Chain A
Amino acid sequence: MNLDQTMLARILTMMTLSFHIIFATLGVGMPLVISIAEFLGIRRGDDHYLQMAKRWSKGYTVTVAVGVVTGTCIGLQLSLLWPTFMKLGGDAIALPLFLETFAFFFEAIFLGIYLYSWNRFSNPWIHWALGIPVLVGSSLSAFFIMTVNAFMNAPQGFKLQDGKIVDVQPILAMFNPATPTKAGHMILSAWATTAFVLACLAAYRMLKGNKQEYVKKALRLTMVLSLVFSSGTALYGDLAGKYLAKHQPEKLAAAEWHFDTGTQASLVLGGVLNEQTHEISYGVKIPYLLSFLATGSPTGEVKGLNEVAKDLQPPLFVHYLFDAMAGIGSYMVLVPLLYFLWTRKRGREVPKGLMRLIVWGGPLAMLAIQLGWVFSEVGRQPWILVGYLKTGASATTSAHVGSMVILFGLLYVFLGVAASRVLLRMFRNNPIPADVDQGREPHVA
């Protein structure tokens, strides 16, 4: 690996984004899940759900803060590390970035209100309603930032003349062909991941022998949500694949090790590639499936990598990233299904093995988010703005990127350790009974 400015800038971008996305994912998902729990609590008059909403928002105050500071980092680093890209792209894509800050603003204001006004109103629905703008704001900011990323993959709505962007159509640039699948898949995967992370915590408590009604309800709720959102994620992932087949066939071909354009293409799972002969050993080949996934017909034509000039091909290791992401996606659908099959009979205890699978689902879902991003971003290489600007031509010329990598590395280690410690302490020091019964009349469920 050649550690030039570009490579260092890529490493720093990757570090910041991978760290930010952990908290951003929760930032998109938590408001929804909290809002659902509070809704159920008020609607059914069930204190357990209200306590869930409160406990989760307590944890959320910590993750949101780290999300905000790392988001500030990436927001500035885009200009610090990729000045040429921001200057060129800024002309075409400033609108969603600008709107995103409004969405943040809106979210931040109501988050402040929501978190610090739990007991302020006599009508509980007012407090619940104050959570809606938080939910809308965070989903909108995710949507806007995804349009920017979509634009990098499928730029449109401008003309390039002598290295300057002219004839800009901001709305067209925002709603480019990649926008629907990118935004949809990302937002749904954030919801699914959040639900699974919370399910993981509840299952962990149960494994540790906690049999309270509260924990059971929390697990059940998060399992319902996991099932719905994970299925949505998988469906949208399929649409994302179809988008790739149509607009970025080289990314899909690299992900599937598909070299020769052809109909009736088969899907390869895993395997080892011989880069010279393009022969695949050990992999599982499923005939027709790739054609079917890419086009909706088992005999559809799928473009192969050989049609792309050698120096414009993305790296081939993304195949594993894609497989792992899709594998985890299936896991995230299957595990909740198992849980519901098992608990269909009333009163049946969930077996330890299944509980462990749920616990594993939390970290795996987070891993899938990371894998998906690295796949999507590395699969775009060598372009930063597909067809217009190469990554190598847009990095900063400053000589100090290397030391900045170290500086931010230390910052993220510190933030990561501190946030984990605070969250763990919160989790341990707040056993449920203390919280649930605090200053409240015992509630008979």
Chain B
Amino acid sequence: MSLENVGITVLWMFLYGYVIVASIDFGAGFFSYYSFITGREHLVNGVIERYLSPMWEVTNVFLIFFMVGLIGFYPDTAYYYGTALLVPGSIALVLLALRGSFYAFSHYAKSSALYRFLYGATGLFIPASLATVLTISEGGFIDENNGKVTLALDRLLSNPYSWAVVLVAVTSVLYISASFLAYYAKKARDPAAAETLRRFALATALPTIFASLLVFFTLRTHNPGHFERMLDIYPLFLGSFGCFLVAFALQVTRKSYGWAFVWVMLQFLFALFGYGASHLPYLLEPYIKVHDSITSPQMGLALVIGLIAGLCLLIPSLVLLMKLFLFNTKYASGKLSEEP
């Protein structure tokens, strides 16, 4: 495989990782707030907290990794996206920062209603604003005049496609999160929480599919080229839909929440890679293509070697983390009190 393809494949894998783990986190924020205002807090909060506390920093690093890797492999992206995204990027950063601080402060401070609201709201706003970067990458929103790069915010905000993407981001986050947390609650032997979360999952499943269809149709007018390339690889999207059906069936019949979540993960794997593959060769239409902007071969080689060495270290550590917290029934059910 050529360097530019290695680079984008690796980055896309990390983006996929981020989409899954961050969705769980973001959605959990929303559910936590929702159950707080509907007075069902006791049902889900324990589960959510035990999962999230050891995980959130790891989640954050996925995002940083994606960004640093993108700039490393394709330095031109720093220039275009960096210049164009100052304002939206900064706003997303502030939201991320507020949210991150929640984990640190809520444990030790009595969490106020305002803080809980922020925590829930950022869980929806952050994915929406991050997804907008994908919208922008489709082209039509960044102008370059006399070497000056600007973002046409008015066009972005009045475009149906960009709202469809926001919708799909929010619904997917809730759907992924609820599917996972239902499994985790079951694992934690908390049937009441599992049932509540299962209902959340079912309630968000169809909206997610509906929003995805909306994205397809609006992309057709916004970027016909990309739409054509998507049609070329339609089996991927059909596969994604198939996985969805299996997951949905498992959740409706209460068969196995664990397997249901695996199918949900596959659903998004197919969808995200289908989207990414058809997006190529562009990283930003029409300015950045993967093979023009790829870094020098020497740096590329160094990055790939660094990547392999890094993964050898990371994968066993991640497995250990999951074993200790995710798949440990005693921990999940709160029987181990592990606070320092």
Please report the total number of A residues contacting B with Cβ < 8 Å: 78
One digit per residue, 1 when the CB lies within 8 angstroms of any chain B CB and 0 when it does not, for chain A 94-133 equals 1101111110111011111101111110000000000001
Contact call B57/A168, Cβ cutoff below 8 A: no
Contact B314 A109 (CB under 8 A): yes
What are the residues of chain A within 8 A of B60 when measuring CB–CB?
68-69, 72, 108
Contact with B along A58-95 (1 / 0, CB 8 A): 10011011101111110111011111101110111011
A127 to B63: give the CA distance in the assembly, Å: 29
Q: Mark B91-114, 1 if CB is under 8 A from A, else 0.
A: 101101110110111011100000
The answer, among B96, B295, B314, B337, for a CB contact under 8 Å with A94, is B295
Question: By the criterion CB–CB under 8 Å, are A101 and B64 in contact?
Answer: yes
Asked if A226 lies at the interface with its beta carbon under 8 angstroms from chain B, I say no
CA distance A66 to B100 in the complex (A): 8
Contact B317 A109, beta carbon cutoff 8 Å: yes
A422 touches B108 (CB 8 A): yes
Q: Is A340 an interface residue (CB 8 A)?
A: no
Say how far B202's CB is from chain A's closest CB, in angstroms.
31
B85 an interface residue at 8 Å Cβ cutoff? yes
| With known contacts A113-B320, A116-B53, A98–B68 Cβ distance under 8 A | yes
Bound CA span A76–B65, Å:
11
CA–CA, A414 to B105, complex, Å?
A: 12
Q: Does A221 contact B (CB under 8 A)?
A: no
Q: Do A86 and B82 touch across chains, with their CB atoms under 8 A apart? A: yes
Chain A residues with Cβ under 8 A from B296's Cβ?
Answer: 91, 165-166, 168
Kindly report which residue of chain A lies nearest to residue B73, judged by CB atoms.
A94
Contacts A75-B64, A91-B295, A101-B64 given: A398-B86 contact, CB under 8 Å?
Answer: yes
B 244-271 to A, binary, CB cutoff 8 A, 1 in contact else 0: 0000000000000000000000000000
Residue contact A415 to B340, C-beta cutoff 8 Å: no
Question: Is there an interface contact between A101 and B61, defined as CB atoms closer than 8 Å?
Answer: yes
- Tally A-B pairs: CB < 8 A: 230
- Identify A109's interface contact among B303, B307, B318, B339, CB under 8 A: B318
Q: Would you call A388 an interface residue if the criterion is a C-beta within 8 Å of the partner chain's C-beta atoms?
A: no
Q: How far is the CA of A82 from the CA of B86 in the complex (A)?
A: 10
Q: Is the CB of A73 within 8 A of B75?
A: no
> Does B213 sit within 8 A of A, measured CB to CB?
no
Question: Provided the pairs A87-B76, A398-B87 are in contact, do residues A104 and B61 lie with their beta carbons within 8 angstroms?
Answer: yes
> Considering the chains assembled together, what is the distance between the CA atoms of A79 and B72 in angstroms?
11
- A160 contacts B by Cβ under 8 Å: no
Q: How far is the CA of A102 from the CA of B303 in the complex (A)?
A: 12
Interface residue ranges of B281-340 to A (CB < 8 Å): 295-296, 298-299, 302-303, 306-307, 309-310, 313-314, 317-318, 320-321, 324-325, 336-340
Closest to A114 in B: B340
Query: Are the C-beta atoms of A62 and B105 separated by less than 8 Å?
Result: yes
Is the Cβ of B67 less than 8 Å from the Cβ of A113? no
Q: Does A413 make an interface contact (CB < 8 A)?
A: no
B38 in the interface, Cβ–Cβ < 8 Å?
no
In whole Å, how far is A77's beta carbon from the nearest beta carbon of chain B?
8
Q: Is A265 an interface residue (CB 8 A)?
A: no
Taking a contact as CB atoms under 8 Å apart, the answer to whether A411 and B94 are in contact is: yes
What is the CA–CA distance of A311 and B295 in the complex, to the nearest angstrom? 33
Q: Are B96 and A72 in contact (CB under 8 A)?
A: yes
A58 touches B340 (CB 8 A): yes
Asked if B81 lies at the interface with its beta carbon under 8 angstroms from chain A, I say yes
Binds B, one of A279-287, A359-367, A378-386, A399-407: A399-407
Judging by beta carbons under 8 Å apart, are A102 and B108 in contact? no
Interface pair B317/A419, CB less than 8 Å apart: no
Separation of A435 and B152 alpha carbons in the complex (Å): 57
A406 to chain B, nearest CB (A): 11
**Residues of chain A lying within 8 A (CB to CB) of residue B206:** none
CB distance A415 to B93 under 8 Å?
A: no
Asked if B58 and A65 sit within 8 Å, CB to CB, the answer is: no
A73–B58 Cα distance when bound, in Å, is 16
Category for how many chain B residues contact A: 35 or more
CA distance A116 to B54 in the complex (A): 7
What's the minimum C-beta distance from B293 to chain A, rounded to whole angstroms? 10
- Separation of A111 and B103 alpha carbons in the complex (Å): 14
* Contact yes or no, A168 B299, CB < 8 A: yes
Chain A residues closer than 8 Å to B73, beta-carbon distance: 94
- The complex places the Cα of A52 from the Cα of B127 at a distance, in Å, of 40
- The answer, among A84, A100, A110, A401, for a CB contact under 8 Å with B79, is A84
- Minimum CB–CB distance from B301 to chain A (whole Å) comes to 8
Q: Does A170 count as interface, using CB distance less than 8 angstroms?
A: yes
Complex Cα distance, B119 from A56, in Å, reads 27
Contacts of A216 in B (CB 8 A): none
Bound Cα distance A88, B321 (Å): 38
Cβ of B302 and Cβ of A95 under 8 Å apart?
yes
Provide the residues of chain A in CB contact with B94, threshold 8 Å: 407-408, 411
Q: Within residues 386 to 401 of chain A, which ones have a CB less than 8 A from any CB in chain B? A: 396-398, 400-401
From the candidates A57, A77, A113, name the one contacting B340 in the complex (CB within 8 A). A57
Q: How many angstroms from the CA of A298 to the CA of B248 in the assembled complex?
A: 80
Q: How far is the CB of A9 from chain B (nearest CB, A)?
A: 10
> Nearest-CB distance from A162 to chain B (Å)?
15
A397 near B149: Cβ-Cβ < 8 Å? yes
Contacts of B317 in A (CB 8 A): 106, 109-110, 133
B residues 147-189 near A (Cβ < 8 Å) are 148-150
Top 7 closest A-B pairs, CB basis?
A: A65-B104, A94-B72, A83-B82, A112-B54, A102-B310, A79-B82, A86-B78
Given A70-B97, A94-B299, 14 further pairs, Cβ under 8 A: A68-B100, A76-B93, A87-B79, A87-B82, A90-B71, A92-B299, A95-B306, A108-B60, A109-B58, A113-B54, A117-B338, A400-B87, A404-B90, A426-B108
Q: Which residues of A contact B (CB under 8 A)?
A: 54, 57-58, 61-62, 64-66, 68-73, 75-77, 79-84, 86-88, 90-92, 94-95, 97-102, 104-106, 108-113, 115-120, 133, 165-171, 396-398, 400-401, 403-404, 407-408, 411, 414-415, 418-419, 421-422, 425-426
What would 30 A/B residue contacts be, using CB atoms closer than 8 Å? A61-B104, A65-B101, A65-B104, A66-B104, A68-B100, A72-B96, A76-B89, A77-B90, A84-B79, A87-B79, A87-B82, A90-B75, A90-B78, A94-B68, A95-B302, A97-B72, A99-B306, A100-B68, A101-B69, A105-B58, A105-B65, A108-B57, A109-B317, A109-B318, A113-B324, A119-B338, A133-B317, A165-B296, A171-B302, A407-B91
